[in-house]
Amino acid sequence: MIGGGSWGCAFALLLRERGHAVTLACRDPEQARELAETGRNPRYLTFADLSGIAATTVAEAPVETAELVVLAVPSRAFGGVAGALPGAAPVLSLTKGLDPATGERLSTLVRGLVRGRAVAVLSGPNFAEEIARGLPAAAVIATEDGFLAGQLQHALNSPLFRAYVNPDLVGVELCGAAKNVIALAAGAVDGLALGDNAKAALITRGLAEMARLGEACGARPETFSGLAGMGDLIATCWSSHGRNRRAGELIALGATAEEAIAAIGQVVEGLTTAPVLRDLAHRVGVELPITEGVCRVLEGESLGALAASLMGRRPTEE
């Protein structure tokens, strides 16, 4: 498991409970040392008992002999980490975003960097805090490799974590990237106290945006009504755990994007993904008004002007 943040630690716990031998690889040597000595993460999920999970640095992790490499790193670091992986073990990505440098989906990046390496993506409404506390959840495993899908489903499925499989790698990855951008807008609705009607409308139209983009990129329409689409979107836009929702709320209350990140203390993927997603939409000729609006606010436009422009769009069919 490469990535010592909240989701990396929570997923390592999930793997441990299923009886797997897990090594948690951290970027920070001090964090790795404390994890190894105390069984606790000094920064994230500090309540969680991680005993029984080996901890080391990324450089010293036994990647070459691993049966599976799980990546839970920020999208901006994903390419560099994936490109440096030794061995040929399959990769399971937990990262929800696009590569900021190329605009590529992250699974495409893995296969381009290491030819022949099998890759899968896990996505869904999975807040790390709840997973770490043993609360029930479900997720979808997306891969074009049917054998790998079956292996991962068997390795992960339990009475507390239900794992589905889906061959639509394109759709699942686009859902994971786009829902964070919509969550920024949903948080802004909260910050401006515009009400539940407005928030529900924004989330619904956000899902329509996601589906339009997916269709243009060759995804399956039904993926967007599943766990990676509607499920994760609802959770991210409404939960107090949602970093992107919280960032949007803070920005609506007057914080800069940098101040919002500092207050949250963790990566806010939607802020990285928004301009990358907008550029992808331009390349495939799809209109994403909410995503465009989020980018304009991040570039300095007032939220009041954005709300007026979205509500003032030409009426059309749903």
Is 179 one of the catalytic residues?
yes
CB 121 within 8 A of CB 98: no
Rounded Cα distance between 162 and 176, Å, is 18
Catalytic residue, candidates 16, 111, 179, 278: 179
Question: What are the E-state strand segments in 167-312?
Answer: none
Mean pLDDT of 277-303: 93
**Residue 306 confidence (pLDDT) above 80:** no
Using alpha carbons only, what angle is made at residue 183 by residues 79 and 3, rounded to the nearest 5 degrees?
Answer: 35
What pLDDT score does 114 carry? 67
Q: What is the residue type of 116?
A: G
Straight-line distance from the first to the last Cα atom of the chain, in angstroms, rounded to the nearest whole number = 43
Q: How confident is the prediction for the chain on average, in pLDDT?
A: 93
Which two structure tokens, joined as six digits, stand for 314?
Answer: 């030409």
Rounded Cα distance between 156 and 54, Å, is 19
Give the containing element (helix H, strand E) for 141.
strand 137-142
What pLDDT score does 264 carry? 95
Cα 63 to Cα 25, 67, 103, 182, 191: the distances in Å are: 9, 9, 27, 35, 43
Rounded Cα distance between 121 and 140, Å, is 8
**Residue 315 confidence (pLDDT) above 80:** no
Tens digit of pLDDT for each residue in 230-279? Answer: 999 999 999 989 999 999 999 999 999 999 999 999 999 999 999 999 99
How many residues in total does the chain contain?
318
Q: What is the residue type of 195?
A: G
* Kind of pairing between the strands at 137-142 and 23-26: unpaired
Q: What are phi and psi of 162, to 5 degrees?
A: -95, 120
What pLDDT score does 154 carry? 95
The predicted model scores a pTM of 0.93
